[in-house]
A and B are shown apart, each in its own frame.
Chain A
Amino acid sequence: MKPFDIVIVGGGGAGLYAAMEAMKTNPSLNIAVLSKVYPNRSHTSAAQGGANAALANKAKDDTVELHIFDTIKGSDYLADQDAVEVLCSEAPKIIRELDNMGTPWSRMDDNTIAQRPFGGAGRPRCCYCADKTGHTILQTLYEQCLKKGVQFFNEYFALSLSVNGSRMRGLLALNIKTGKVEAFASKTVIFATGGYAKMYWNRSSNAAGNTGDGQAIAYRAGIPLKDMEFVQFHPTGLRKSGLLVTEGARGEGGYLVNRDGERFMARYAKEKMELGPRDLVARSLETEILEGRGFDSPAGKYIHLDLTHLGADLIKSRLPQIREMSMQFEGVDPIEEPIPVRPTAHYSMGGIDTDNFGRTVMGGVYAAGECGCVSVHGANRLGGNSLLDILVFGRIAGRTAAEEVGKFAPGIIPESEIAEKAEELRSFMKPSGHYERYGALREELGQTLAMNVGIFREAPLLRKGIDDIAALRERYQHVRVFDTSDVYNTNLIQVLELKNMLDLAETVAAGAYAREESRGSHTRVDFPVRDDEKWHRHTVATLENGKVALGEKPVTMGRYELQERTY
Chain B
Amino acid sequence: MTVTEPHIEEAKKDITFRVFRFNPQIDSKPYYDDYTIQVERGITVLRSLNYIKEHLDATVSFRAFCQAGICGSCAMRVNGLSKLACTTQVWEVLEKCREPNVIKVEPLRNLPLVKDLIVDMDPLVDKMKHYSNWVESTMPEEKMGKKEFLISEEEFLKYDKATDCILCASCVSECSILRANSEYVSPAVLLKSYRMNSDSRDAIHDVRLAELVKDHGVWDCTHCYRCQETCVKSIPIMDAIHGIREDAIERRGMKDTSGSKHAEAFMSDIEKKGKLVEATLPIRTNGMAWTLKNLLPMAMKMIVKRRTPPPPPLVKPTKGIRVFRSMFREMSEHVREDHKSHNK
- Interface of A toward B, CB cutoff 8 Å: 24, 37-38, 40-43, 45-46, 55, 93-97, 99-102, 104-107, 109-113, 129-130, 132, 135-136, 139-140, 143-144, 146-147, 154, 177, 207-209, 240-241, 243-244, 259, 295-298, 325, 327-332, 437-439, 481-483, 485-491
CB closest residue in chain A, given B24:
A487
Alpha-carbon gap, A24 to B196, bound state (A): 23
Contact status B67-A481, CB under 8 Å: no
Contact status A144-B134, CB under 8 Å: yes
Q: List 28 A-B contacts (CB under 8 A).
A: A42-B71, A43-B65, A45-B66, A46-B68, A96-B148, A97-B144, A100-B139, A102-B199, A102-B201, A104-B160, A107-B153, A113-B148, A129-B163, A135-B163, A135-B166, A139-B163, A144-B134, A146-B125, A147-B132, A154-B121, A240-B47, A244-B68, A296-B4, A329-B68, A331-B91, A437-B54, A485-B25, A491-B53
Which residues of B in the span 208-234 have a Cβ within 8 Å of any Cβ on A? Answer: none
Q: How far is the CB of A334 from chain B (nearest CB, A)?
A: 13
Q: How far is the CB of B334 from chain A (nearest CB, A)?
A: 36
Complex contacts, A95 vs chain B, CB 8 Å = 148
Contact status A136-B151, CB under 8 Å: no
Known: A96-B144, A111-B151, A143-B133; 9 extra A-B contacts, CB below 8 A, are A93-B145, A100-B149, A101-B135, A241-B47, A295-B3, A331-B41, A437-B54, A485-B23, A488-B116
Contact status B2-A296, CB under 8 Å: yes
Contact status A146-B134, CB under 8 Å: yes
Alpha-carbon gap, A415 to B40, bound state (A): 51
Q: How far is the CB of B333 from chain A (nearest CB, A)?
A: 31
Complex contacts, A147 vs chain B, CB 8 Å = 132, 134, 136
Q: A130-B160, A439-B55, A486-B25 are in contact. Are A24 and B141 (CB under 8 A)?
A: yes
Contact status A37-B67, CB under 8 Å: no
Stretch at the interface among B56-64, B250-258, B315-323: B56-64
Q: Determine whether B290 belongs to the interface, using a CB cutoff of 8 Å to chain A.
A: no
Contact status A101-B70, CB under 8 Å: no
Contact status B58-A482, CB under 8 Å: yes
Alpha-carbon gap, A340 to B70, bound state (A): 21
Alpha-carbon gap, A96 to B151, bound state (A): 13
Q: How far is the CB of B98 from chain A (nearest CB, A)?
A: 23
Which of B4, B149, B196 is the most central at the interface, judged by chain A CB atoms within 10 Å of its CB?
B149
Interface of chain B: mostly helix, strand, loop or mixed = loop
Complex contacts, B202 vs chain A, CB 8 Å = 102
Alpha-carbon gap, A37 to B66, bound state (A): 11
Complex contacts, B186 vs chain A, CB 8 Å = none
Q: Determine whether B10 belongs to the interface, using a CB cutoff of 8 Å to chain A.
A: no
Contact status A96-B147, CB under 8 Å: yes
Complex contacts, B5 vs chain A, CB 8 Å = 295, 297
Complex contacts, A243 vs chain B, CB 8 Å = 67-68
Complex contacts, B135 vs chain A, CB 8 Å = 101-102, 140, 143-144
Contact status B58-A136, CB under 8 Å: no
Q: Determine whether B128 belongs to the interface, using a CB cutoff of 8 Å to chain A.
A: yes
Q: Determine whether B118 belongs to the interface, using a CB cutoff of 8 Å to chain A.
A: yes
Q: Determine whether B8 belongs to the interface, using a CB cutoff of 8 Å to chain A.
A: yes
Contact status B73-A37, CB under 8 Å: yes
Complex contacts, B55 vs chain A, CB 8 Å = 439
Contact status B8-A297, CB under 8 Å: yes
Closest 3 CB pairs of A and B: A102-B135, A331-B42, A439-B54
Alpha-carbon gap, A101 to B26, bound state (A): 47
Alpha-carbon gap, A113 to B153, bound state (A): 10
Alpha-carbon gap, A97 to B143, bound state (A): 9
Q: Determine whether B284 belongs to the interface, using a CB cutoff of 8 Å to chain A.
A: no
Contact status A104-B156, CB under 8 Å: yes
Alpha-carbon gap, A496 to B199, bound state (A): 43
Contact status A45-B25, CB under 8 Å: no
Contact status B26-A485, CB under 8 Å: yes
Q: How far is the CB of B10 from chain A (nearest CB, A)?
A: 13
Contact status B65-A208, CB under 8 Å: yes
Contact status B42-A488, CB under 8 Å: no
Contact status A100-B128, CB under 8 Å: no
Contact status A111-B25, CB under 8 Å: no
CB closest residue in chain B, given A107:
B153
Alpha-carbon gap, A357 to B2, bound state (A): 53
Complex contacts, B57 vs chain A, CB 8 Å = 482
Q: How far is the CB of B29 from chain A (nearest CB, A)?
A: 16
Which of A93, A146, A437 is the most central at the interface, judged by chain B CB atoms within 10 Å of its CB?
A146
Partner of B61, one of A208, A240, A490: A490
Which of A41, A110, A209 is the most central at the interface, judged by chain B CB atoms within 10 Å of its CB?
A41
Q: How far is the CB of A473 from chain B (nearest CB, A)?
A: 20
What is the 8 Å Cβ interface bit string for chain B, positions 181-192, against chain A (1 contact, 0 not)?
A: 000000000000
Which of B54, B139, B152, B202 is the most central at the interface, judged by chain A CB atoms within 10 Å of its CB?
B54
CB closest residue in chain A, given B141:
A24
CB closest residue in chain B, given A36:
B65
Contact status B166-A297, CB under 8 Å: no
CB closest residue in chain A, given B8:
A297
Which residues of B in the span 122-140 have a Cβ within 8 Å of any Cβ on A? Answer: 122, 125, 128-129, 132-137, 139
Partner of B66, one of A46, A110, A129, A296: A46
Partner of B114, one of A38, A45, A100, A488: A488
Q: How far is the CB of B120 from chain A (nearest CB, A)?
A: 8
Contact status A483-B67, CB under 8 Å: no
Complex contacts, A491 vs chain B, CB 8 Å = 53, 58-59, 61
Alpha-carbon gap, A513 to B119, bound state (A): 45
Alpha-carbon gap, A190 to B123, bound state (A): 28
CB closest residue in chain B, given A482:
B58
Which of B26, B54, B63, B70 is the most central at the interface, judged by chain A CB atoms within 10 Å of its CB?
B70
Q: A96-B147, A100-B145, A297-B8 are in contact. Are A146 and B152 (CB under 8 A)?
A: no
Partner of A41, one of B43, B73, B144, B148: B73
Contact status B23-A45, CB under 8 Å: no
Q: Determine whether B243 belongs to the interface, using a CB cutoff of 8 Å to chain A.
A: no
What is the 8 Å Cβ interface bit string for chain B, positions 247-268, against chain A (1 contact, 0 not)?
A: 0000000000000000000000
Q: A135-B70, A136-B163, A439-B55 are in contact. Are A208 and B64 (CB under 8 A)?
A: yes
